[in-house]
Structure 1
Amino acid sequence: YATSPVCTPSRAALMTGRYPQNTGSISNDLPMLDEMETFATVLAREGYDTGYAGKWHLDGPAKPGWAPARKFGFEDNRYQFNRGHWKKLGEDENGPKVAAVNAKGQPSYDVAGADETSFTTDFLADRAIEFVTRKRDRPFCFMVSIPDPHGPNTVRAPYDTMFDPAPFRQPGSALATGQKLPSFAQVLQDRFNSRQMALYFGMVKCVDDNVGRLLAALRETGQLDRTIVLFTSDHGDMCGEHGRYNKGIPCEGSARIPFVIAAPGLIPPGMVIEEALGTVDFKPTLLGLLGIGTEAKMEGRDASELFRKGEAPADWVDRAYLRIGGTGKGASGWVAAFTKRHKLVL
């Protein structure tokens, strides 16, 4: 689960192993505190070659905000940008840039003309491949943060027509009536759009294909069998459930996220973990798998033994805590405890 299912607080939790109230990033666009230690800080200290490409969203309101000065352990962050769901990127003698602009010359989300080199998902995958195939004499850690799937629901050809809108139907939860549901799950005015869902699936397929390219590059360079690969997200999307879109509520569509890990020699392939975990558990678990310690405080749990054995340790508590802290504008928040069977939201 996303420890806080909106971009900034979830990302801060993943990076640090701390809950949002301790990172400074309790809601979107609030910068992470300078003193936060990320997993990249630890790995860089251990001699890893570290890098990052893609959306960051932990450096305040800067947009796009290329290569933030505060690197938090990601030494090569040339292709890191702070905010925005740009669809077309490029590069010139001054460095990376948003390649689409509006009539005023300002960066734009326009997807027109994007192709397999300039569409953001492809562009970032290319930068990741360049990094991981670079010759080096030390281990590396690279994070590629692809903004999609995320609104605006646009994607380059052929993905924009790859899925037929016709089979997509309203989720059953959007048609429910007469249920006594909490406010976060009440059905809003339905805005279901099958074309938007077809484009969403197109974005996912483009991400999938580019992850495949990255894995192929690791395989071709003989690194795949000795590299830990992690695939996850900072939040989900309601995609029409309860007549809602986007995220920020404790429903499964918003809060439940993918987490796929391949760790050759450490985690048996094909294992499925049912216990409830959150993005706050990412850093301690990764460091646990690598056998690397840190003295920095973390509220997240080290689930490495659970992953290695497929069985929870005797002292394991099957519970993930989530929260939304509202915003600086006074919006109300919520806290929740999830297990693999139950959900409590306050």
Structure 2
Amino acid sequence: MFKVFGFWILGATLAVGVVADSPMNLVIIQTDEHNFRTLGCYRETLTPEQAMVWGNQAVVETPAIDAIAHRGAICTSFYATSPVCTPSRAAFFSGRYPQNTGSWQNDRPLSNDVVTFAEVLRQNGYATGYAGKWHLDGPGKPQWAPERQFGFRDNRYMFNRGHWKKFELTDDGPRVAATAKNDEPSYSLAGADEKSFSTDWLSDRAIEFIREHAEEPFCYHLSLPDPHGPNTVRPPYDSMFENTPIRPPATFSQSSPQPKWLSDSGKKSNLKFSAQQMALYFGMVRCIDDNVARITKTIDDLGLTDRTIVVFTSDHGDLCYEHGRLNKGNPYEGSAKIPMIVAAPGKIAPRTRVDAALGTVDFKPTILTLMGFDASKRSDTSEGRDASRLLTDDADTAWNDVTFLRSAGPKPGWLAAVSDRYKFIVSVSDEPWLFDLQSDPDEVVNQMGRDGYAPIATEFAGALRAYAQSHGEPHLDSPAIAKSISSILDSIDP
């Protein structure tokens, strides 16, 4: 079930000291609701059928993001621990499972006791900063520069919520530059250009920070609100793919039965496919890549490439019409699997690949170890796994190839145990589902009850129960979920 071809990168725990070597800088570029198939480096890891789900010509060229993967590592089975904005981000920054962060659904504020990887770096002398969407300080919108910084000392350009398209700097600080008739901030493009469009404007802020702190260790997190909807983008990206033949994915109108948990989370039925919406989505991704190129060129021009770790990731995916749905919130690949690529010169070999299943909850423990923090000196409450040894070694046969996903919200919905090959899902609304991603990459066949799959279902049911009991998973309190797991484990012959 576990196979490692190279390396990956994630995050760590509260550390006391750094190794004697020169400290590495850290630049994280995080997008929002990003389907991994839009990146060339991920298409390289897939079969043609899986890489070209919208048609053989419906692809976005992403040379800058691909270059990060080619000179570093790509993680092919990295998942949002809860595939919704707030809980996924909470797990990413804290190293805790969402139910233990205070942010188990959108707009729930992060608990005050959370120690993020940025706070660890700040305490160890790093200049830290953040620009873009935060979504961890409650319902405020846009709410610039939240009072609670969580380690990001320069958070002038951090806004709490929203998918704004145009920004500007004023004497009173940053603001949304498009307004509605009532003078409230608007999602309108309003003539946005390369200086004011959200992706460009926020990338400019990252470049300014990198230049300002080039002579000291720094950590900067750039959180881009695209390619999350509304699907609008400035010229020329708005028309770049308008003549591209774009078709619905093969599963858009699938005839096989769909799991009931999809309807619970997807909230989309009788959806009409729109090639125009996909063309605009592709345009947003291409704009992101062009700005990634500007950021990596700045790092190179300043002579910082050899001592700067660059991470490209997202908070969750977007089904983009797979299974007749848009958006996220369910355990399908398009919703829950996200990009995780890392370049770490001198630490990660070029074109490294890791296929083991990992999650956003693992980022903090792994990244701090990778940056040289002594694991024996940590006193932190991270619950994620330190996967640094997978990233820097050829293999680790003792690694348990499984990560755990959960639905967002106060009510139990679904839980999943996922490996590189298998995905086991229990929910309050349906029988257990087991996907074999090797034989069924489209995720249309429930393998429960089929020959040869009983041992897999038993193994994953046991792992899911152990996770839930160890980490205070309230979804296990659901009689339906508990019964689904028990029915499988109780069937084991004594």
**TM above 0.5:** yes
Match of 1:105 in 2: 183
5+ residue gaps in structure 2?
1-78, 427-494
Maintained 8 Å contact 1:250/1:336: yes
Maintained 8 Å contact 2:87/2:408: no
* Candidates 240, 263, 281, aligned match of 2:321: 240
* Candidates 253, 259, 262, aligned match of 1:182: 259
Match of 2:382 in 1: 298
Q: What is the CA-CA distance between 1:135 and the residue it aligns to?
A: 4.3
Q: What is the CA-CA distance between 1:136 and the residue it aligns to?
A: 5.1
Match of 2:141 in 1: 63
* Candidates 77, 82, 87, aligned match of 2:165: 87
* Candidates 206, 215, 223, aligned match of 2:287: 206
5+ residue gaps in structure 1?
none
Moved over 6 A (4+): none
Q: Give distance in 2, aligned partners of 1:254 and 1:115.
A: 30
1:166-198 Cα offsets, whole Å, 9 max, x none, are 511011111211x13312346831321000000
Max Rg structure = 2
**Is the counterpart of residue 255 in structure 1 residue 336 in structure 2?**
yes
Match of 2:422 in 1: 342
Q: 1:218 to 1:166 in 2, by over 3 A?
A: closer
Q: Which amino acid aligns with 1:75?
A: R
* Candidates 215, 218, 224, aligned match of 2:296: 215
Q: Give distance in 2, aligned partners of 1:136 and 1:285.
A: 24
Match of 2:91 in 1: 13
Q: Which amino acid aligns with 2:417?
A: A
Q: Give distance in 2, aligned partners of 1:89 and 1:224.
A: 29
Maintained 8 Å contact 1:285/1:302: yes
Aligned ranges 1:1-346 → 2 under 5 Å: 1-135=79-213, 137-177=215-255, 179-185=256-262, 188-292=269-373, 293=375, 294-311=378-395, 313-327=396-410, 330=411, 332-346=412-426
Maintained 8 Å contact 2:407/2:415: yes
SS in 2 for 1:174: coil
Match of 2:460 in 1: none
Q: Which amino acid aligns with 1:138?
A: E
Maintained 8 Å contact 1:188/1:242: no
RMSD after superposition: 1.3
Q: Which amino acid aligns with 1:183?
A: K
Q: Which amino acid aligns with 2:387?
A: A
SS in 2 for 1:162: coil
1:92-146 Cα offsets, whole Å, 9 max, x none, are 0000000000000000000120000100000000000000111454200000000
Q: How many aligned residue pairs are there?
A: 341
1:45-97 Cα offsets, whole Å, 9 max, x none, are 11111000000000000000100000000000000000000000111000000
Q: Which amino acid aligns with 1:334?
A: W
Maintained 8 Å contact 1:271/1:310: no
Which protein has greater RCO, CA pairs closer than 8 Å, 6+ apart? Answer: 2
Q: Give distance in 2, aligned partners of 1:343 and 1:182.
A: 13
